[in-house]
């Protein structure tokens, strides 16, 4: 199907922007087929598809005049696999991202590797509709994968998670990252038990940053940062998360690494309630990890990074050792790295402490970022060291 785009959109596409937005189309159209985008004279501009998702209404897949068939997708998968050679060679890490959407020339599709299994995330209905072509190509390039699961990340009545092909993964499926074991569940809703994009930060915690320290992990989910810290020699970890499931899940992560639960505290609690409790008890930590969701609704209040991150920093300073460390992280795509940094530093200034930024992380390289789409690099992590 041919679809005409505006002159403005032609320019944008030629500048390498891969996302189609509704204002780019001369006439509104919806289709599940692959699409040839043309200028108003009918000349080919790019090939791709339309499909509504949380951002945009479609993706450019190629600027060449070629079929979007099994061999096209196989080429993209082969390139993605090749790019991750250094992950394949590292036996200490058996879970990482295989295909990162537009970063690997496949906007709308994400595939993660968990040991011998793959987890597909479909971000729009059109790719899902064309999944036969895509999965056939995937199997050609990744024949060693024993089984695959899929997550539906667009509005639909389909189950959000199900097995897609091959063998079923054990539950839990034990994966390794930097030599540390994590228990994952490939078929429990959209989340698996670990956020793979934080592997460099976990790596830093396990290879020295947490050594000899007391660590507080806020918004801890399954406690992955706590486990990395404990494996890296933290003398005690405290994990705080509102969700009831976080208690058994966090215990399990420690247990699969043979760690003693005695030195690990786990609280099912609201973060701000925990800050109050810790201040009352005059607790003091050497290192605090802050990694909230970009948006969360609790019974009492709504948390948004832009509005509330400063409060998290201020509360943290109150229970942080005078030479303590804060790891401030956010995955909020709508907040620029500069703004996030400013937010943190404004809060630190307000508390009147001296500090130094000692490290900064963006997405690791298995989460490939497309040069024409820098906003795809949503992760921002800053390490601050307080000084006296």
R_g (Cα) of the chain, nearest Å: 22
Residue partners of 67: CB distance under 8 A and separation at least 6: none
Q: CB of 53: closest distance to ligand SAH in angstroms?
A: 21
Strand order in the sheet with 44-50: 2-4, 34-38, 44-50, 58-62, 19-20
Q: CB of 309: closest distance to ligand SAH in angstroms?
A: 13
| Residue 195 binds ligand SAH (CB under 6 A) | yes
| Residue 221 binds ligand SAH (CB under 6 A) | yes
In terms of residues, how long is the chain?
388
Q: CB of 380: closest distance to ligand SAH in angstroms?
A: 14
Quick count: other Cβ atoms within 10 Å of Cβ 165?
Answer: 15
| Residue 367 binds ligand SAH (CB under 6 A) | no
Which x/- pattern over 293-332 shows residues binding ligand SAH (rule: CB under 6 A)? x--x-x----x-----------------------------
Q: CB of 306: closest distance to ligand SAH in angstroms?
A: 16
Which x/- pattern over 334-353 shows residues binding ligand SAH (rule: CB under 6 A)? --------------------
Rounded to an integer, what distance in angstroms lies between the CA atom of residue 18 and that of residue 79?
Answer: 18
Identify whether 143 is preceded by a cis peptide bond (ω within 30 of 0): no
Which range binds ligand SAH by CB under 6 A, 89-97, 121-129, 206-214, 288-296? 288-296
Q: Which is nearer to ligand SAH, 252 or 270 (CB)?
A: 270
Q: Which is nearer to ligand SAH, 49 or 254 (CB)?
A: 254
Rounded to an integer, what distance in angstroms lies between the CA atom of residue 202 and that of residue 177?
Answer: 9
How many helices (H) and strands (E) are present in the chain, helices listed first? Answer: 11, 21
Q: How many residues make contact with ligand SAH (CB under 6 A)? A: 20
Which range binds ligand SAH by CB under 6 A, 29-37, 219-227, 278-286, 375-383? 219-227
Which range binds ligand SAH by CB under 6 A, 47-55, 85-93, 222-230, 368-376? 222-230
| Residue 87 binds ligand SAH (CB under 6 A) | no
Axis-axis angle for helices 131-141, 70-83 (nearest 10) = 50
3-state secondary structure of 103: helix
Q: Which is nearer to ligand SAH, 124 or 329 (CB)?
A: 329
CA proximity to 261, closest of 289, 286, 288, 236: 236
CA proximity to 298, closest of 265, 269, 332, 329: 269
Q: Which is nearer to ligand SAH, 220 or 368 (CB)?
A: 220
- The angle at the Cα of 146, spanning 145 to 149, to the nearest 5 degrees, equals 90
Which range binds ligand SAH by CB under 6 A, 40-48, 105-113, 220-228, 373-381? 220-228
Give the footprint of ligand SAH on residues 232-261 (CB under 6 A). 240-243, 246
Quick count: other Cβ atoms within 10 Å of Cβ 346?
Answer: 13
DSSP symbol at 168? P
Q: CB of 274: closest distance to ligand SAH in angstroms?
A: 8
Residue from 291, 326, 335, 386 touching ligand SAH (CB under 6 A): that is: 291
Residue from 152, 224, 327, 343 touching ligand SAH (CB under 6 A): that is: 224
What the block records as the tokens of 252 is 């399990």
Burial annotation 316-326 (CB, 10 A radius, 16+ → b, else e) = bbebbeeebbb
| Residue 219 binds ligand SAH (CB under 6 A) | yes
| Residue 268 binds ligand SAH (CB under 6 A) | no
User: Using CA of residue 305, residue 154, residue 365, residue 12, what is the dihedral sign?
Assistant: negative
Q: State the residues that interact with ligand SAH by CB under 6 A.
A: 195, 198, 219-222, 224-225, 240-243, 246, 270-271, 291, 293, 296, 298, 303
């Amino acid at each position: 199907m041919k679809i005409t785009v505006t002159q403005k959109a032609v320019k944008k596409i030629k500048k390498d922007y891969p996302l189609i937005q509704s204002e780019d189309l001369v006439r509104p159209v919806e289709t599940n087929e692959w699409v040839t985008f043309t200028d108003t004279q009918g000349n080919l501009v790019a090939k791709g598809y339309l499909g509504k998702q949380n951002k945009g209404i479609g993706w450019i897949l190629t600027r060449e005049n070629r079929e979007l068939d099994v061999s096209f997708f196989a080429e993209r998968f082969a390139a993605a696999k090749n790019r991750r050679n250094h992950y394949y060679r590292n036996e200490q890490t058996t879970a990482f991202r295989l295909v990162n959407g537009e970063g690997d020339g496949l906007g709308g599709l994400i595939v993660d590797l968990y040991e011998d299994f793959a987890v597909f995330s479909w971000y729009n209905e059109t790719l899902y509709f064309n999944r036969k072509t895509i999965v056939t190509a995937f199997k050609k390039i990744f024949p060693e994968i024993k089984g695959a699961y899929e997550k539906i990340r667009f509005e639909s009545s389909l189950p959000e998670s199900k097995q897609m092909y091959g063998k079923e993964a054990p539950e839990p499926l034990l994966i390794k990252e930097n030599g540390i074991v994590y228990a994952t569940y490939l078929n429990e809703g959209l989340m698996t038990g670990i956020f793979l994009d934080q592997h460099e930060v976990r790596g830093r915690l396990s290879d020295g940053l947490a050594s000899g320290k007391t660590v507080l992990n806020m918004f801890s989910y399954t406690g992955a940062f706590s486990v990395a810290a404990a494996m890296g020699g933290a003398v005690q970890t405290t994990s705080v998360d509102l969700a009831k499931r976080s208690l058994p899940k966090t215990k399990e992560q420690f247990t699969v690494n043979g760690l003693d639960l005695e030195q690990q505290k786990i609280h099912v609690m609201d973060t701000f309630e925990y800050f109050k409790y810790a201040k009352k008890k005059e607790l003091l930590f050497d290192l605090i990890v802050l990694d909230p969701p970009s948006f969360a609704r609790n019974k009492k209040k709504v948390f948004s990074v832009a509005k509330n991150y400063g409060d998290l920093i201020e509360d943290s300073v109150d229970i942080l050792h005078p030479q303590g460390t804060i790891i401030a992280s956010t995955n909020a795509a709508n907040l620029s790295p500069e703004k996030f940094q400013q937010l943190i530093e404004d809060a630190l200034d307000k508390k009147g402490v001296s500090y130094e930024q000692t490290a900064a992380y963006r997405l690791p390289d298995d989460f490939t970022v497309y040069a024409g789409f820098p906003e795809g690099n949503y992760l921002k992590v800053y390490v601050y060291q307080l000084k006296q």
